[in-house]
Amino acid sequence: MRKVTSRWVAHQLTDEQKQKRLRICRQNLEKFRNGTWHLCDVITGDETWIYHRQIGRKSSNATWVGANEPPRTIVRRNRFEPRTLFCFFFKSTGSLLIHKVDKGKTIDHDYYIDNCLIPVINEIRKKEKSSRTTYKMLHDNGPPHTHPDVIDYLMEEGIEIIPHPSYSPDLAPCDFWLNDYIKNKLTDHTNEESLAQEVSTIVKNIPINEFKKTFDKLLERMKLCIENNGDYFEHLIK
C-alpha cells in the first residue's frame, strides 16, 4: 500500500464519450499515417481568458525559505478579478493570429468568422506557395465553432474540419501547450493594453521548432488516447 495524490481531470468521461474519443483518434491518426493529411497543413486555434494578475501553479509557487521563515502568501483569485479574452491561431510554422477581444464583446459565430477565421485564412493565403494546398482546421466543439455558417464558410474556402471529440482539451494544442506557455511567462498587469502587448511579444518570440514539436506531440497524444481506451491519459506522459 502507498499514498498517492489524486489526479484532476477535465471531465468525468462516460463510456460513450471514451468510445468517441477512441474512434476519432483512430480515424484521425490513420489519415496522418497514410498521407491523406499532413501536419504542415493543420491550422489550430481557440479562445482563452488571461487574468491580469498571475498566480502560477502550485508547483511554480514553491520557494526556499529559512528554517524559521514562513512561506510567502499567494492570494487566491476571486471571480471579479480583471481578465481579458484572447484568440490564438497557429500552424507548425508559427503564429497566425493573436486577437484581443474587446471588453463587453462575446464571441458568436459571426464574430468568430469576421475576427478570427477571415484574418487567419488571409494570412495563410499570403504565405502559401501553392493555391492548391488543402488546409485542415482543428478547433473544439464550442458553439461558435460548430455553427452552420462557420462550417459553410470553411467549406467555401476549401478548408477541411478535423473531427475533435467533446471534453478533450488533452487533444487540443492550445489547451495542452500554448495557453500554459503564455501564462507561465506573463507578469502582472494593471490594464488590458499592457497585458495584450506582453502576450503578443511572448507568442511572437516562441521558437518555430516549438510549434512543430507541439504538432508532433498531438500525434503522440492521439496514440496515448488509443492505448488508454479513450480515457484521459496525461498522467501517463513523462
Whether the pLDDT of residue 209 is over 80: the answer is yes
- The three-class DSSP label of residue 144 is helix
Answer whether residue 22 is part of any domain: yes
In the predicted model, what is the mean pLDDT of the chain?
88
Give the DSSP letter of residue 229.
Answer: T
pLDDT at residue 3, as a whole number: 43
Q: Which amino acid is at 153?
A: Y
Answer whether residue 65 is part of any domain: no
Domain count, the chain: 1
Answer whether residue 6 is part of any domain: no
pLDDT at residue 179, as a whole number: 96
Structural domain that includes position 89: 15-55+76-236
- Give the CATH number of the domain where residue 169 resides: 3.30.420.10
Answer whether residue 29 is part of any domain: yes
pTM (predicted TM-score): 0.86
Q: Which amino acid is at 146?
A: T
Q: Output the CA angle 83-143-234, nearest 5 degrees.
A: 70
Q: What is the pLDDT of residues 118-171, one digit of tens each?
A: 999 999 988 776 566 789 999 999 999 999 999 999 999 999 999 999 999 999
Answer whether residue 5 is part of any domain: no
What average pLDDT score do residues 185-194 get? 93
Answer whether residue 43 is part of any domain: yes
Whether the pLDDT of residue 233 is over 70: the answer is yes
Instruction: Take residue 174 and report the three cell numbers written for it.
Output: 492550445
For 21-87, give the DSSP string.
HHHHHHHHHHHHHTTSS-GGGEEEEEEEEEESS----TGGG-----TTPPPPP-PPP-TTS-EEEEE
